[in-house]
Amino acid sequence: MKLHHVVLVLSLSVVATIAVASTAAIGERQQVMKSNGAATKSIMGMLKGEAPFDLPTVQKALATYQENTTKFVTLFPEDSKTGEKTSASPKIWEDMAGFLAANEKFKADAKAASIAIVDEASFKSTMPNVVKNNCGSCHEAWRIKDAQ
Ligand code: HEC
């Protein structure tokens, strides 16, 4: 094989890898969000007073939120704007800095809450804002409503 053939084959395989990875990115970021959903479900009963307060479960949910932010923002390559039933708004790619800031705010709020929440009273005063001002606000700004 001549050198330029080798180069061509190599660059084609790189393109193929990126194409597979971007489709996978949509599924992966939805999995990360499903994990946020499951963590939130684990504390919802406590917030509504339907389940007994359990500090370790609350701390686990807040740790999951923080861990998820790290991976989440790596899953928005340029060619993952459509497909796979994504509900990500095109605005994410138009203002990536703004989107990254929303993700950082979520991480910081979850971290602050993990320090502030020490008992049921602090849980009930802190946790609703973490959910409302992050899950709710980010979805409002950076998700397509029709797809939800
Ligand atoms: C920084 C922004 C941001 C924050 C904060 C955020 N989300 Fe999301 N969420 C998104 C985006 C963007 C999508 C759309 C992903 C896609 O379909 O490609 C999404 C999708 C979802 C989905 C649907 C996943 C699927 O299967 O399609 C669930 C459930 C979800 N989020 C739950 C949560 C919960 C619960 C929280 C808070 C604990 C949260 N999210 C916080 C941006 C965010």
Domain holding 34, by residue range, is 3-147
Tell me the C-alpha distance between 20 and 80, whole Å: 10
Q: Rounded to the nearest whole angstrom, what is the distance from the C-alpha of residue 31 to the centroid of ligand 1?
A: 9
Q: Pocket of ligand 1, candidates 139, 144, 146, 148: which has the most ligand atoms within 8 Å of its Cβ, to mutate?
A: 139
**In the 8-state DSSP scheme, what is residue 78?**
G
Q: Could you give the number of structural domains in the chain?
A: 1
Q: Rounded to the nearest whole angstrom, what is the distance from the C-alpha of residue 132 to the centroid of ligand 1?
A: 13
- 19-28 pLDDT tens trace: 555 679 999 9
| Angle formed by the axes of helices 120-130 and 3-47, nearest 10° | 140
- 43-96 pLDDT tens trace: 999 999 999 999 999 999 999 999 999 999 999 999 999 988 899 999 999 999
The CATH number of residue 109's host domain is: 1.20.120.10
State the average pLDDT for the chain: 89
Instruction: Write down the pLDDT at residue 148.
Output: 47
Dig out the tokens for 43 from the structure. 């504390």
pTM of the model: 0.87
